[in-house]
Structure 1
Amino acid sequence: MSEIVLLASAACGTNVNCPSVFRLASGDFAVVGVEASPELQGQLPEGSGVGDGERLVIVPKDLLVDAGWMIPDS
């Protein structure tokens, strides 16, 4: 079994610049999305933040649903 398993990927014409969700061998998840740290960091709820070595990314809702995540509509 591969250490990284693709769970879902947005439809795109290339193998790059496609939002994707992966399951790692550790059971954790990795995501590819559009970096949004500069735009959204100041809007995060109090007590939330983006630390050194972290990036805030936007991942399409449909992609997470396709990966099997239960996401509320509201």
Structure 2
Amino acid sequence: MSDSTYTAHLIGDDGTETVELDLIQGLPQKSFVRAGSGDFEGEEVVWELVEDGEDEGLHEYREAGRPGADYA
């Protein structure tokens, strides 16, 4: 891990994954999009930062849906 990255825990339906993400102006990303896995393999998934999820310098993200999906 460098000074421009941080460790993030992605907490999804198919378990937890740890990844390195880039800091944006010294702060963790509020959300990002990446390829899904498991039931959502081949689809993009939005991940959102859990504001109170910081534990020992690790940041937690949860699945927040699909980009452009209409949840109405």
TM-score, normalised by the number of residues in structure 1: 0.26
By percentage of residues, which structure has more strand? 2
Q: Considering only CA atoms, is the larger Rg found in Structure 1 or Structure 2?
A: 1
By percentage of residues, which structure has more helix? 1
